[in-house]
Amino acid sequence: MNIQIDQKDFELLIEYDQIKKRIRLIGIQLEVDYEGRVPVFVGVLNGSFMFLGDLMKEVGISSEVTFIKVSSYEGDQSTGKIRKEIDLYMDLKDRDVIIVEDIVESGNTLKHVIDIIKEHNPASLNVCTLLLKPRKLNQDLEEITYVGFEIPNEFVIGYGLDYNGLGRNLKDIYRAEHVPTET
């Protein structure tokens, strides 16, 4: 199925049923890894809200949730400049922290968030991301522990990810269609 958002064409990449199954498996792994502990899930807004919401339904252990908002995108391109828009308002000292991301591409934004959280001296710090673009990653991020799907270096929307603010509400994930170039 193809869709159009803000005059840009997209094609289906990952169906919601696949997303739900993968999230259930991640939830099980988190329950095992954090048994007997009370982790804090830090959602990175805006994109992680759907993933974090569904993930929390699959995590049966006691846990807390908070958010941070940083941004670097305009349209479908990163500006390279990271802005903190909403700061953390929770004490994370000696806590087990799990950063929840919608997508990790270059890793620059995530590295920035990791550095912010490390200033709070957590007991442990791991990252759970729905999508990872391994070929675009230019940071060494050993904290990435839980990955839903590895995807090619393509622009994607849906399930919390947007294009010019649109498409976050789509339950499936779509990739931008390639426009053939003339030779």
Say what the pTM is: 0.88
The one-letter code for the residue type at 88 is L
> In this predicted structure, what is the pLDDT of residue 182?
47
Average predicted confidence (pLDDT) for the chain: 89
Strand partners, 94: none
Q: What structural domains does the chain harbor?
A: 21-153 (3.40.50.2020)
Confidence grade of residue 16 (pLDDT, cut at 50, 70, 90): very high
Q: Is 15 a catalytic residue?
A: no
Of the residues 105, 119, 142, 182, only one is catalytic, namely: 105
- How many Å separate Cα 40 from the centre of its chain? 16
In the predicted structure, residue 69 carries a pLDDT above the cut 90: no
The average pLDDT across 44-72 equals 91
In the predicted structure, residue 27 carries a pLDDT above the cut 70: yes
In the predicted structure, residue 179 carries a pLDDT above the cut 60: no
The percent of residues above 90 in pLDDT, for the chain, comes to 69
- Note whether 48 and 160 are within 8 A (CB): yes
The average pLDDT across 122-133 equals 97
